[in-house]
Amino acid sequence: MLKPALFPNILIITGLMAAGKSSVAQAIAERLPKSVHLRGDTFRKMIVNGRAEITPELTHEALQQLSLRYRLACDACEAYADAGFTVIYQDVILGEYLDEVHTRLSRWSPGVLVLNPALDVVARRDAERRKTAYAGDWTPASLAAGLEHTPRIGLWLDTSAMTVEETADFVLRHAEATRAGAR
């Protein structure tokens, strides 16, 4: 198991909830030597009391906690990368936050993969999994509005007709495309 020559030391995977981020990140990490699958949402789940939930109407506290979550995840990415691991960092990172995370990790020239399946596919995938991401005011369409304001950096991939394995294989074969448009 060899790491492709052009594969970044840190790969940021983002997209809507139920786009396949966790599954694809795990599949990619399993194909690389000395790799880490860093789940950004873990930092949100660590808050026992006082957690501000992420909803379509973000409160000031929710935004503060979201920024903290991204900052902690970036710190963890760098610690693992400093130790020689290839880091596959996945989280919902939309809008200006993707640029901020990418900039924070810039010394590593990170790659970016935006999983962008069709909204009906996202809704179907959400309905088929154990945990449900969308309820109440949250819909794939409401969250997709955040993608409209997300910088077009890295590889944006419509995975509507792709399996997890096909997506991971594609990314490993086209690793250089994850750095496209990087600032």
As a three-state string, the secondary structure of the chain is CCCCCCCCCEEEEEECCCCCHHHHHHHHHHCCCCEEEEECHHHHHCCCCCCCCCCCCCCHHHHHHHHHHHHHHHHHHHHHHHCCCEEEEECCCCCHHHHHHHHHCHHHCCEEEEECCCHHHHHHHHHHCCCCCCCCCCCHHHHHHHHHCCCCCCEEECCCCCCHHHHHHHHHHCHHHHHCCCC
Q: Is 5 within the bounds of a domain?
A: no
For the domain that residue 61 is a member of, what is the CATH number?
Answer: 3.40.50.300
Q: Which amino acid, residue 172? A: L
Q: Is 12 within 8 Å of 92 (Cβ atoms)?
A: no
Q: Give CA–CA dist 62/129, Å, rounded.
A: 26
Q: Is 1 within the bounds of a domain?
A: no
Using one digit for the tens of pLDDT, what is the confidence trace for 134-173? 777 777 888 888 888 999 999 999 999 999 999 999 999 9
Q: Which domain holds residue 169?
A: 10-179
Q: Give CA–CA dist 114/103, Å, rounded.
A: 16
Q: pTM score > 0.85 for this model?
A: yes
Q: Is 129 within the bounds of a domain?
A: yes
pLDDT at residue 183 above 70? no
Q: Is 78 within the bounds of a domain?
A: yes
Backbone angles phi, psi at 112, to 5 degrees: -130, 130
Q: Is 100 within the bounds of a domain?
A: yes
Q: Give CA–CA dist 175/182, Å, rounded.
A: 13
Q: What is the pLDDT of residue 182?
A: 60
Q: Is 2 within the bounds of a domain?
A: no
Total count of domains within the chain: 1
Query: In which order are the strands placed within the sheet that holds 35-39?
Result: 35-39, 86-90, 10-15, 111-115, 155-157
Report the percentage of the chain scoring pLDDT > 70.
Answer: 98
Q: What is the pLDDT of residue 9?
A: 96
Q: Is 73 within the bounds of a domain?
A: yes
Burial call 37-54: b when 16+ CB within 10 Å, e when fewer: bbbbbebbeeeeeeebeb
Using one digit for the tens of pLDDT, what is the confidence trace for 27-49? 999 999 999 999 999 999 999 99
**Which tokens belong to 106?**
């810039």
Q: Is 77 within the bounds of a domain?
A: yes
